[in-house]
Homo-oligomer: A and B are copies of this chain.
Amino acid sequence: MLSKKTKYGIKALTYLARRENNEPVQIAEIAKSEHISIKFLESILLLLRNSGFLGAKKGKGGGYYLIKDPKDISMAKVYRILEGPIALLPCASHNFYEKCDDCDDESTCAARRLMTEVRDNTLKILESNSLADIAF
């Protein structure tokens, strides 16, 4: 299951993508519209900003805005920033690979075999969907 952080992050990005213009939107507006706690959303938007998805403008009339065209924002990248590894097991992950302590032989591990197949497919879907694809 996705954490709420990820769900809220995707919703916030969608909200920004759906705006006609790309002027800064205040946290409070997004929070109210999507029914998210302001403070929690704050930390999520900050993460997205530090990860290069959003820009922020301080002061009056400030807020957050998309830095890139929604068509160029890969949901796989969004997922990795918000949720972490796409794979269901560390030993089936490309970007966050880790060997299992308990596993003697990775090549015969049935769990790894199955989860690698799931991972490959999930990755394909997340990579082929841009923010624009899911927002409109």
Contacts and interface: CB of A to CB of B under 8 A. Distances in A.
A48 interface: no
A117 interface: yes
A111 B1 contact: no
Interface stretch (A19-27, A49-57, A61-69, A122-130): A122-130
Most chain B CB within 10 A, of A89, A90, A110, A125, is at A110
A81 to B, nearest CB: 15
A1 B2 CA distance: 10
A121 interface: yes
A125 to B, nearest CB: 5
Nearest to A122: B118
A110 B11 contact: yes
A7 B102 CA distance: 10
Interface of A: 1-2, 7-8, 10-11, 14, 34-36, 75, 84-85, 87-90, 100-104, 109-111, 113-115, 117-118, 121-122, 125-126, 129, 131, 134-135
